[in-house]
Structure 1
């Protein structure tokens, strides 16, 4: 049962959000406080709630695709349970941000909570707009972590915001390509339907390459070997998954690319962690 809830929440994403925020706070301020950690939990709960609502609202599309890996489709969790959990998590996330984050941090959490619902109901059916919103959630963790502890944006944080947005947008195009058949049945008009698979992969790859270029910018300020090694591993995975898709686009290769991208993001977080000691 716990495994099913983990799948519903896609909890690995929330964990990465939490780590990204905490590491950003450390890079900027050099320390963590009780209030900064509690503030970091706000976006974590909103992320969990957003994925639960995503499965609740996407039940028709997931059923059409026979996505039995989704707990609701598999009958492990009911739609009512998913909706209830989503609303509770949204409330908890916003409450924590209100209590422990500065005003702009609270507004960011509210914005993403509201727009995650709008995304599932409307934005995901529109070409590009929905993808851009989701990509912004990748970079928001770094911005949020920065403003929790400082009003000035740190250079390294700006780099990670840029890197996360471009690579995240590329990743979202790949994921959208994977969901084309289900999206067609729900009346969505996504970018892959307009461009086709080859052009979508090309565009996604170009965005990922921009993210890779951005990842090298910290080396302009200082040559730090641990960062270079870790970000090099992340970039190698990003480049590898684009090559995988250039060779052949199949449901299996798209699934592999999605999973590989999580590994790349993980190494990216390790690279950020190394900057704490730079």
Structure 2
């Protein structure tokens, strides 16, 4: 099993001291050149007078953009400590059992606009960058990563086991399921969260992030390793009502709807 998570827009406030990121030592060294290109472009644009506009953020995030100027020297921490927000609060990595954390370090990947893909233990600094943006000289970030990221994720998925896709839209665009090899796409399941009230269902946003974090935590604590979409439905269905829909077309993922009632 492989679980694909989006990052969080919010990042933990960095410590005052610590070792800087070693880009060459992050997981998936085949992404090193692309990472360095994004790192340089992000540092350059963050120093510009119009940096906030270029990065698509408001004045309240000026301090976070300013941190981008020190990414080469800023203290780095494991990714599971850097990413915060609703999904990561629900995952609550620090309170996972020792065995669940061990499994998570092998089975969870965070898709990042700056780093491409990270394992939870990869040490990186806090930064501000979204996948739906673009950088001078590089263009749209999703297109930049699309040249290498699909192959990296497919290799990480291996020859068997389901791929649990909890990414949001911009991060899916960086490695669409349709770009995976046929056998990997056939094992990929996109997790959707629906609220059911009085028999009527609607897509939720805030609760969707929270629930995807809970689903990830549940899969790790259960030591679940489903080999197919129906097996994933059976496991998740032990905790929530879950409905599975077959791919709408070749190369599309299965869809697992997790139903929140009330």
TM-score > 0.5 by shorter chain = no
Greater relative contact order, per chain length (Cα 8 Å cut-off, separation 6+): 2
Structure with bigger helix share is 1
- Give the alignment's TM-score, normalised by structure 2: 0.32
- Give the alignment's TM-score, normalised by structure 1: 0.30
Structure with bigger strand share is 2
